[in-house]
Structure 1
Amino acid sequence: MIEISHHGATTGVTGSCHELTLGSGSNSSGILIDCGLFQGQEEGRGANASDLSIDFPLSHIRALVVTHVHIDHVGRIPYLLAAGFEGPILCSEPSAIMLPEILEDALKIGFTRNRELIERVLDVIRARIVPVRYGCWHPMFDQDDQSLAIRLQPAGHILGSAYVECDAREGDSEERIVFSGDLGAPHAPLLPPPESPDRADRLVIESTYGDKDHEDRATRRFRLKAILERALADGGTVLIPAFSIGRTQELLYEIESLIHEFGGQSAAPGMAWQDLEIVVDSPLAAEFTRIYRDLKPFWDAEATELVKEGRHPLSFEQLTVIDSHEDHLNAVEYLTKSHRPCVVLAGSGMCAGGRVVNYLKAMLGDSRNDVLFVGYQAAGTPGRDILLYGPRGGWVALDGEKYDIRARVHQVGGYSAHAGQSDLVRFVTGIPGAPREIRIVHGDPDAKMALKKCLSSHGDYNINIPT
Structure 2
Amino acid sequence: MEFQYLKEVKEIVQATVPEDAGVSSVDIEGPEIAVYTKNPKAFHDNESYVKALAQQLKKKINIRADKSLLMDEKEAKEKILRIIPEDAKVSDVQFMEPFSEVMIEALKPGLVIGNGGQTSKDIIIQTGSTPKIVRSPTQPSEILVGIRRHLVKYAGERKKILQETARKIYSEKCQPSWIRLTPLGGFRQVGRSCIMVETRKTKILLDCGVNVAAQSPEEEYPYLDAIRFPLTELDAVVLSHAHMDHCGFIPYLFKMGYRGPVYCTEPTRDLSALLLFDAIEISAKENKEHPFSERDVKEMLKYCITREYREVTDIANDIRITFHNAEHILGSGSVHLHIGEGAHNLVYSADIKYGFTRLFNNVDINYPRLETLVLESTYGAKEDVKPSREDTEAQLLRVMQETVSQGGNVLLPVFAVGRAQELQLVIENYYRKGLLDPETKVYIDGLTRESSAIHTAYPEYLRTIVQKRVLQNDSPFTSELFQVAKPEDRDNIIKQGKSIILASSGMLTGGASLSYFYRMAENPVNTIIFVGYQGEGSMGRKVQQGLKTMPITENDGRTRKLNVNMRIETLDGFSGHSDRNELVAYMRNLKPKPKRALINHGEAAKTVELSRYFSAKFMVPSQSIRNLDTVRLK
> AA paired with 2:332?
S
Q: Does 1:125 align with 2:305?
A: no
Q: Alignment partner for residue 355 of structure 1, among 489, 512, 520? A: 512
Q: CA deviation at 1:310?
A: 6.8
Distance 1:449 1:11 in 2: 8
Q: Who is 2:549 aligned against? A: 395
Aligned to 1:248: 420
Tell me the residue number matched to 2:610: 451
TM-superposition CA deviations, 1:310-362 (whole Å, max 9, x none): 7432111121012xxxx423x33223433x30101111111111022221111
Q: Is it true that 1:276 corresponds to 2:434 in the alignment?
A: no
Per the alignment, residue 316 of structure 1 pairs with 479
Aligned partner of 1:337 in structure 2 is 495
Alignment of 1:106-121 (within 5 A): 106-110=279-283, 118-121=293-296
Which amino acid in the other structure matches residue 337 of structure 2?
C
Q: Secondary structure at the match of 2:394?
A: helix
Q: How far apart in 2 are the matches of 1:100 and 1:313?
A: 24
The answer to whether the Cα contact below 8 Å between 1:385 and 1:396 also exists between their aligned partners in 2 is no
Shift of 1:114: 11
Runs (5+) with no aligned partner, structure 1: none
Deviation at 1:253, TM superposition (A): 0.6
In structure 2, the CA distance between the partners of 1:155 and 1:120, relative to structure 1 (3 Å rule), is same
CA contact (8 A) 2:188 2:607 kept: no
- CA–CA distance in 1 between the matches of 2:391 and 2:469? 21
* 1:367 alignment counterpart: 524
Answer whether contact 2:323 2:334 (CA < 8 A) is retained. Answer: yes
Q: Equivalent residues in 2 for 1:54-453 (5 A)?
A: 54-56=225-227, 57=229, 58-110=231-283, 118-142=293-317, 147-169=318-340, 174-198=343-367, 199-211=369-381, 212-261=384-433, 263=434, 265=435, 267=436, 271-272=437-438, 275-282=439-446, 284-307=447-470, 311-322=474-485, 327-329=486-488, 331-338=489-496, 340-390=497-547, 394-398=548-552, 402-453=561-612
Rounded to whole Å, the distance in 1 between the matches of 2:581 and 2:546 is: 29
Paired residues in the alignment total: 436
**What is the root-mean-square deviation in Å for CA atoms of aligned residues?**
2.4
Q: Deviations over 1:108-140 (max 9, x none)?
A: 33479999x944323311110000111011001
Q: Which residue of 2 aligns with 1:13?
A: 190
Is the contact between residue 46 and residue 52 of structure 1 (CA under 8 Å) also seen in structure 2?
Answer: no
Partner-residue secondary structure (3-state), 1:317: coil
Deviation at 1:455, TM superposition (A): 2.1
How far 1:457 moved relative to its partner? 4.3
Q: Distance between the aligned counterparts of 1:219 and 1:202, measured in 2? A: 36
Q: SS in structure 2 opposite 1:424?
A: helix
For residues 113 and 225 of structure 1, what CA distance do their matches in structure 2 show? Answer: 39
Q: Specify which of 195, 199, 206 is matched with residue 22 of structure 1.
A: 199
Task: Confirm or deny: 8 A CA contact 1:100 1:125 kept in the other structure.
Answer: no
**Matched AA of 2:506:** G
Deviating more after overlay: 217-226 vs 300-309: 300-309
Output the amino acid matched with 2:188.
Answer: T
- Cα deviation code 1:66-120 (max 9, x no counterpart): 00010010111121112222210000122122222222112333479999x9443
- Give the number of the structure whose residues are more often helix, by fraction: 2
State the alpha-carbon separation in 2 of the partners of residues 372 and 31 from structure 1.
39
Q: Which amino acid aligns with 1:6?
A: P
* 1:372-405 alpha-carbon deviations (Å, 9 max, x no partner): 1000101111101110115xxx224555754211
> 2: distance between equivalents of 1:43 and 1:13?
15
Q: Any idea what SS the aligned residue of 2:515 has?
A: helix
Which stretch shifts more, 57-66 or 299-308? 299-308
CA distance in 2, matches of 1:205, 1:402: 42
- Partners of 2:377 and 2:242 in 1: CA distance: 18
Residue 433 of structure 1: how far off its partner (Å): 4.1
Take 1:365 and 1:320, find their aligned partners in 2: how far apart are those partners? 25
What is the SS of the residue equivalent to 1:389? Answer: coil
CA distance in structure 1 between the partners assigned to 2:586 and 2:327 by the alignment: 12
Query: Offset of 1:233 from its aligned partner?
Result: 1.9
Report the secondary structure of 1:333's partner residue: helix
- Distance of aligned partners of 1:291 and 1:64 in 2 relative to their CA distance in 1, 3 Å threshold: same
Structure number with larger C-alpha Rg: 2
SS in 2 for 1:165: strand
**Helix, strand or coil for the counterpart of 1:254?**
helix
In structure 2, the CA distance between the partners of 1:334 and 1:248, relative to structure 1 (3 Å rule), is same
Aligned equivalents of 2:273 and 2:572: distance in 1?
A: 30
8 Å CA contact 1:166, 1:178 repeated in 2: yes
| Bigger RCO of structures 1 and 2 (CA < 8 A, at least 6 apart) | 1
For residues 68 and 461 of structure 1, do their structure 2 counterparts lie closer, same or farther at Cα, with a shift above 3 Å needed?
same
Cα displacement (A) at 1:169: 1.7
| Contact preservation (8 Å) 1:14, 1:42 | no
> Are the counterparts in 2 of residues 386 and 395 from structure 1 also a CA contact under 8 Å?
no
8 Å contact kept, 1:19–1:33: yes
Most deviating of 36-45 and 252-261: 36-45
Q: Distance in 2 between matches of 1:156 and 1:97?
A: 18
CA distance in 1, matches of 2:561, 2:541: 15
The structural deviation recorded for 1:425 is 1.9
Q: TM-score, normalised by structure 2?
A: 0.65
The code of the aligned residue for 1:39 comes to V
Distance 1:114 1:9, change over 3 A: closer
SS in 2 for 1:21: strand
Query: Matches of 1:421 and 1:106 in 2, distance apart?
Result: 32
Q: Does the C-alpha gap of structure 1 residues 45 and 193 become closer, same or farther in structure 2, counting only changes over 3 Å?
A: farther
Native 8 Å contact 1:14 1:72 kept in 2: yes
Contact 1:371 1:408 in 2 (8 A): yes
TM-score by length of 1: 0.87
Q: Which amino acid aligns with 1:303?
A: V
Q: Write the distance in 2 (CA, Å) between the matches of 1:382 and 1:289.
A: 25
